[in-house]
Every structure is written in C-alpha cells, then in structure tokens.
Amino acid sequence: MADNQEPAITEDFLSAALKTRLNATHVEVTDMSGGCGASFTSLIVSPDFVGKNSLKRHRLVNAALKEEIARIHAWSAKCQTPDEYAKEKAATGGNDGPPMDGTNAQGKVEGVTE
C-alpha cells in the first residue's frame, strides 16, 4: 500500500484488470485476506476460455495477472465460459461464485506468512 509506484491490489482493481485483459464478461473478486497477507478468490467468465481445459484457462489468468499474483499471498480462481456460467447459475438457482476451498469457516485464508 505504501508503494506509490504500483496501484494497490483491491477487488475492484483485479476485477477491472480481468475485464480488460481477458475480455471477461462477468467477474466476481472476493477479498479473503486472513492473517497471512492479501488473498483473493475469483469467478471469471470469459469467451476466451471456450475450447480450453481447466489448466489452460488458469494459465491464461495467471499470465494476465502475473505481476499482481506475484505481489499477493494467495490467489484462487474459477474459470467459466459464458455458457457454463449460465448453465451453472440456472442449475444452482443463481448460486455460482468464487471458490472458497482452502479458506476457513469465515472465508478467510489461514496460513504462514511470507
């Protein structure tokens, strides 16, 4: 935060970055920072994911947010195509969102500090 050179990494910042860099049509970023540094989890919906397996999708996201991910403690993502997102939303009654695996009952990351 004290660093004037680089923008602070926030939910909004990451959201905007994913929309421009990955053509994401829908993004939800949730701050799950607990006791061990900045942590974010995300749901990313982008047509760029069409025809790519899970690993390739995550690699796309990792590349798009290379600098940002390097500066935070933890990063989690769920990558869906617009079709998959629509289907899951319909199937779960609108209950689709960022993955919270790895967080505690309060949705925060616990672990060692850097």
Partner 1 sequence: MLTRSLFSRQLFAAASRPAIAPKAVSSAFRPVLFYQNRFLSDATRQAIDKAVASAPVVLFMKGTPETPQCGFSRASIQVLGLQGVDPNKFAAFNVLEDAELRQGIKEYSDWPTIPQLYIDKEFVGGCDIIVSMHQNGELAKLLEEKDVLVKGEEGAAEEQTEKKE
Which region among 6-14, 23-31, 44-52, 58-66 touches partner 1 (by CB under 8 A)?
Answer: 58-66
Among 30, 49, 77, 81, binds partner 1 (CB under 8 A): 77
- CA 37 vs. chain centroid, Å, equals 16
Using the minimum distance from each CB to partner 1, give the nearer residue, 7 or 102. Answer: 102
Using the minimum distance from each CB to partner 1, give the nearer residue, 4 or 67. Answer: 67
Among residues 72, 76, 73, the alpha carbon closest in space to that of 101 is found at: 76
8 Å CB contact between 63 and 71: no
8 Å CB contact between 76 and 99: yes
Q: Please state, in angstroms and as integers, the Cα–Cα distance from residue 32 to each residue in 3, 14, 74, 77, following that order.
A: 22, 14, 9, 12
Q: How far is the CB of 47 from partner 1 (least distance, A)?
A: 20
Q: How far is the CB of 14 from partner 1 (least distance, A)?
A: 14
Among 40, 49, 75, 85, binds partner 1 (CB under 8 A): 75
Instruction: Look at strands 39-45 and 74-80 and give their pairing.
Output: parallel
**Which residues form the interface with partner 1 (CB under 8 A)?**
36, 54-55, 58-59, 62, 66, 69-70, 74-78, 99, 101-104, 109-112
